[in-house]
Structure 1
Amino acid sequence: MNEWFYIVASAVVAIGGWFIRSLSLSGAIATIIVGTVVGMGFSWRGLILLGIFFVSSSAWSKIGKKKKQKLAEKVEKGGCRDYIQVFANGGVPALISLLSLLRSSPLFLSLFIISIAAANADTWASEIGSLSKQPPRLLTNFKKVEAGTSGAVTLLGTAAAFFGAALIGAAGALQWENIPVMTVAFFGWLGSLFDTWFGAVWQAVYRCPICGMQTERKEHCGQKTVHIKGYRFINNDVVNVLSIACSALVYVVLSIF
């Protein structure tokens, strides 16, 4: 298959995502770019994994919309992904795909599958965990916090992260030989833990001077919010990139030793 097939296949998914408002126009364009690169690196098999991630995460985002709308004020962006969000989740898999074009290695295939698993695990944790009836707890000290707080976990979300990663591992094992599903599931799940940790320790959090809400937004209630913790340059998109990259890096280090 040539690159035109991957472009067309990615475009079909991107247009569908834009049509159901899971992607903005810029997000759809970014999806075509990521999908084409992944296809060139890992053929239609790679596109299937990417498609499973996109379809499953989009489906979960549509469930419990009323409850999630109440949490929208705490997060910087909504469910319609822009190009930055697409690259934040698909950038590492795309980079690994490019590296595999330069040098064929079984390691790159493992890293690719793990990176998709980490992205899927984190998305499932967020989308399903937000539906939990139990209040989340900060990963750093396990104190109860409000739903939607960066760096907080629920039992439901943690379990969802593992199953989200396992789904990608199982899909990978059906397409390639010698893909250990549980290994992929573990490192993908580990990526979601990295995401939670970085969110709790490094991600920027602001407080609204009007209503007092803690939020990821730089503006709230028509006013500029006050920075209270984390690094200003680290938002949720940066956290996503770091967590996916770290899960792949840990796998590389453990593979060497």
Structure 2
Amino acid sequence: MERVLMQPLTAILISFLIAIRAYRKKSLNLSGALSGFLVMSIHLAANLRFGALLLVFFFSSSKLTKIGAEKKRKSDVEYKDGGQRNWLQVLCNSVVAAVLVATIWKLVRWDDKCLDSKESSLITALAGGIIGHYCCCNGDTWSSEIGVLSEAQPRLITTLKPVRKGTNGGVTRTGLLAAAAGGGVIGLTFVVLGFVTATCSTDIALKQLLVIPLSVLSGLGGSVIDSLLGATLQFSGFCSVRNKVVGKPGPTVKRISGLSILDNNAVNFVSIIITSLLTSVACVYIF
């Protein structure tokens, strides 16, 4: 009974403090802070380990956004100090995981489970989806924020031709390595906390270490999927007036690549869905 009250109340308090701090630091605007408070509360109230994955993604991406701000401002026409993510960006990067976390809570309440298909393939699949979700989010963000600082010339992932920095679907070796690292951090967080919060047999506990290489692949794969979608279904063009790469056609804009079918939020959302599904299937197969 005590946990029924204490964990949700603690989750609400922590989420409120983080949302206020993020708003003051300009990592989130007002709508982003409100939606962030909601999804953080759901994660932390239902499962501390999944809440930690969200927080690792949020804090690391917010910190990386601020690194090399002047350089990013020159190449990104939509750059905002601190990031200032709005409600749509927050939900595109967290709502799928929030639904999966709530579903797991409905099934097992606060009992934190190891990945074990023999015990429950459904819980393993749902947890794998959450891991894949944040590996994709973190990997893609690390790739974007670190890759743009690389001195290497980006290449369009579909043709490998050199493109301007800021072009959707443009990749660098540094960016791809950053994506793999971003995914790996999510996997490492899940495994380390699991040794404390989850109870399972020794052989199953040790097998959880396989989450780390799987997460590295999920981070890299999620970034590649995002880049493929960006290169094909998201418009990129060079504006001769702004002297920057832009995401919408116009009289002063020369097309670089992509069709005007998806915007950046939609690309992120679709890549998250695909990566979550693939990681979910992989977890059921591996564990």
TM-score by length of 1: 0.88
Q: Does 1:169 align with 2:200?
A: no
- Summarize the Cα distance change of 1:224–1:18 in structure 2 as closer, same or farther, 3 Å threshold: farther
Question: Which residue does 1:49 correspond to in 2?
Answer: 53
Q: How many residues align?
A: 252
Q: Does 1:23 align with 2:28?
A: yes
Larger Rg: 2
1:110: how far off?
2.1
More moved, 199-208 vs 47-56? 199-208
List gaps (5 residues or longer) in structure 1: none
The 2-side partners of 1:224 and 1:146 are apart by 17
Question: Which residue does 1:204 correspond to in 2?
Answer: 235
Aligned residues of 1:76 and 1:216 also touching (Cα < 8 A): no
Question: Which residue does 2:76 correspond to in 1?
Answer: 72
List gaps (5 residues or longer) in structure 2: 1-5, 109-122, 195-204
- Summarize the Cα distance change of 1:183–1:159 in structure 2 as closer, same or farther, 3 Å threshold: same
Instruction: Write the deviation string for residues 150-175 of structure 1: whole angstroms up to 9, x where unpaired.
Output: 00101111000101110111011001
Letter in 1 for 2:164: E
Of 259, 271, 276, the residue aligned with 1:248 is 276
- Summarize the Cα distance change of 1:167–1:228 in structure 2 as closer, same or farther, 3 Å threshold: closer
Q: Does 1:188 align with 2:219?
A: yes
Matches within 5 A, 1:64-213: 64-73=68-77, 75=78, 79-104=83-108, 105-176=123-194, 177=205, 178-179=208-209, 180-206=211-237, 208=239, 210=241, 213=244
- Summarize the Cα distance change of 1:21–1:114 in structure 2 as closer, same or farther, 3 Å threshold: same
Aligned residues of 1:76 and 1:217 also touching (Cα < 8 A): no
Question: Which residue does 2:118 correspond to in 1?
Answer: none
Question: Which residue does 2:199 correspond to in 1?
Answer: none
Secondary structure class of the residue paired with 1:132: coil
* Percent of residue pairs identical: 31
Letter in 2 for 1:147: K
